[in-house]
Amino acid sequence: MTILVVGRLEPSLEKQLTAAHTPLRLPAEPERADFLQRHADAITVIVCGGRPGVDAALMEALPRLGAIVNFGAGVDAIDVTAARERGIVVSNTPDVLNDTVADTALGLIFDTLRGFAAADRYVRAGRWAADGPFPYTRDVTGSRIGILGLGRIGAAIATRLAGFDCAIAYHNRREIPGSPYRYAASPVELAASVDVLVVATAGGPDSAHLVDRDVLEALGPQGYLVNIARGSVVDQDALIELLHVGRLAGAGLDVYTGEPDVPAALRELDNVVLLPHMGSATARTRTAMATLAMRNLEEFLTSGQLVTPV
């Protein structure tokens, strides 16, 4: 079986993969067409490291493709529907990153409401001595927090926030029986009832612009948005506009539309905390993700099955 690497792999996964196999690597255009003509009939597994991802056209070009092993919990860079139609199985790396991403969300909540990064810039610029004390910020303890997507990561975020006496509400497609948290019937209803809206839902076409202008306006001029999910879930243009005119209090973002490009209109705002999509980026977690991806690969090569199928 021949393995094809698509996208840039995490170094820990690259090391494990090349130690055990000799994979091919999908080149960019214009070399891609010639590469596929020479190798398409041999390729049976793709190991995917994010963008550009695996679309229906690439699957169509690989007649023996049986599995796509994805590094990451999100599979929005893969056309999962097209894969299912072709009988191609897809895996991801869930659970091993839950705690690290939840920690990132908590850090963004604190930094966004308390303004720690902005205060650091204030001190470094000499403004404490020149302009006096840093302006008052907002408490996290006792805040009303809404979680959009109470899955594994959303639940880990909620558990952490409960320790700060936060009133937690959530919205999912369906209410979770026995959940200790208040259920909101829609994203708009959730946003209108909280101080902070944390986006923790899956990416992909089903959730595109789930946080639209109506949701952001419902959050209001005293509300904060925190997004550790995918940039596609939020209407970024509407977010920028409302931040600029003071109809949102602030935002903490780890993900964006069109990464790695972040609009200057976001970068120039001091009430916005910007991270470079680093939610799961610790050495321990990325190594665990790489190991799970390799387990999926080896299991498919051995048995045709996956350890963590999507």
Please list the active-site residues: 230, 259, 277
Tokens 């975020």 identify what position? 157
**Residue 269 corresponds to which tokens in the numbers above?**
């705002």
Any bridge partners for residue 25, and if so which? 5
**Residue 124 corresponds to which tokens in the numbers above?**
């470094």
**Residue 92 corresponds to which tokens in the numbers above?**
């991801």
CB atoms within 10 A of CB 10: 20
Q: Which amino acid is at 102?
A: A
Burial category of 196 from C-beta neighbours within 10 Å (exposed 0-12, middle 13-18, buried 19 and up) = buried
Q: Are 132 and 119 in contact (CB under 8 A)?
A: no
Q: Which amino acid is at 6?
A: V
Angle between helix 283-303 and 98-114 (nearest 10): 150
- Widest distance between CA atoms in the chain: 69
Angle between helix 116-124 and 98-114 (nearest 10): 60
